Chains A and B, each alone.
Chain A
Amino acid sequence: MIDTIRARGQLLCGVSTGLAGFAQPNSQGVWAGFDVDYCRAVAIAIFGTEQNRVRYVPTTAQVRFTALQSGEVDMLSRNTTWTLSRDTSLGLDFTATNFYDGQGFMVKRSLGVTAARQLDGATICVQPGTTTEQNLADWARSVRVNIRPVVIERLEDNIAAYLAGRCDAYTTDVSGLAASRSAQQVPADHVILPDVISKEPLGVLVRHGDQRFADLVRWVHFGLLAAEEFGITAENAAGLATTDNRPEVQRILGRTGGLGQMMGVDNAWMLNVIRTLGNYGEISTRNLAPLGLQRGPNALWTTPGGLQYAPPFR
């Protein structure tokens, strides 16, 4: 797989069709965002540079798995929730959870709703083909709340229906809510309710059958975490690569250990990634802080409440 990508000269990366903070083309048409940075990171690990090395393939929630199964994309970096049935029956592998999310609700402030349970009888906009849709039904059943779904395929049309008042509330992952909220003219007119009704571990997927590529994608994520843990940043990475004497830092940055070769890439793989993109914290701050998202469970394990943990680089 890695050889195929190298021969092709490009990594084909499935991203969402446009979600602020995660994957969205900017005014120059350049893709940017948290999920996009994972595409870039893997490309840098393979090629040493990201210049023209990634082709982004926008995928809707409904075609994403088929796109990956059929080989239209090499990896899927597209806020996809890790579930047992998806992991086992799709012929795909989740590599790691790069973002811990949970499903919530957004309502208009004028509605005066402060908790999800008050949504009894409400009409709720939701995208089809997602775990969101089933979580909504599960939640409504468990707390005995009556809801009417409005199921619209495209994210933009969904938001439009919510804004037009067709729905009382809009539900998706809290990160997605924050992204949509920040894109409104007056974000303060909309409230994200405190209730989180599900666990949504989002991660990058690859096809079954090529463990080496899966390993690379997984360890790029761990490398970004380890870099944050050891204080390696975009700015100081090149300097630390030659001066730092902590053994693990030396192994991450490829001065010793030959870890890159074990993965089938250059030993300077993580150095190149961090030099260009920064560590996990920097990626997170650059893309998600503007949405008003707190780190929360996505802080490092060394912070109280943080869940992001990298196995040792050795």
Chain B
Amino acid sequence: MPIEPTHALKKRIKTLENVIVVEDGEIIEQRLDETMQLINITTKPSNHVALCKETSKMVQLNESTRNSFLSLDIPSNKTFKKPLHLFFIANKKAVVHKTAIHVAENTQFKLFESVTGYGDQTINYVSDTHLEADAQLTYTTLSSGDKSVASAIVRNAALKARAVITYTNGVFTNGTTNQENHVLLNGAAAEGIAKTIALTSDTQETLIKTTVEHLAPKSKGLIEHYGVANDASTLIFEGVGKIHKNMRQSEARQSNKGVVIGAQARLDANPLLLIDEHDVEAGHGAAIGRIDEDQLYYLMSRGLNLREAEKLIINGYVAPLQKIIESETIKEHVNTLLSQKIQ
């Protein structure tokens, strides 16, 4: 099933408050309430130093060919109750975009970000986030797009002392996609949570790589991957928890859960813990396979047919994303994306 056309997405966006829409490199809509106007927003490329430039080819490409830029400077000592919604649309041209986010000391902020591509465009999307001491950011993302859209999406974050970032990424793209999420815990007791929920279908190939690097003591990292592989798709999760030497009392955890629905589908999880220090806590677990027969039997014994039962179980994998989304409009949007993925 094709994805919702641009106008349907824009119609949904109209019902949201605190929105910035960037289409083909231009801001086409910006509606912010009084509190949000405290944020300094610019589209002029700055001399911002890219995170993880050495390790990521996608970042290098972004640096050299960028045609779209947005920066958000969020002031210190503020608690923003409502989320800011960012929408990036690649409609008529290939987009190489970067979002630079800076959250100042002791501020709490919520960001929702959607990246969508239409037709046969390509997307290279990078977001760099800097969290100052005691800052907290809830960063929820969605990616979607037509089958012919190839996308590379990288989200990097650098955290100072006691800062906390919570990523929840929903990957619903129909085309080949390569997504990275890299969290650098630079300050003591900083905390990085990175959850990704990916649904793949048809013959698409998806690679999800999540890295949490512990570069300070008492830092905490949590990686969670949830996947549903349909049809003949391939979904690969790579999770890396890396604790550097002397970063005592750090904690690195990781879990991978997934179901393989399609007869020719493939789902791999490669959890990795790289630990160069003794005084730490670390662990990982994985549960990947076909849908549990007992679960299916149980649901069907209450009258659900096989497809309904499967859908409900798959829905369960998207629950961590739906749980964190506040807006009904976006919940509904996720449901639409979900129903396109599993028919």
Answer yes or no: do A and B interact.
no
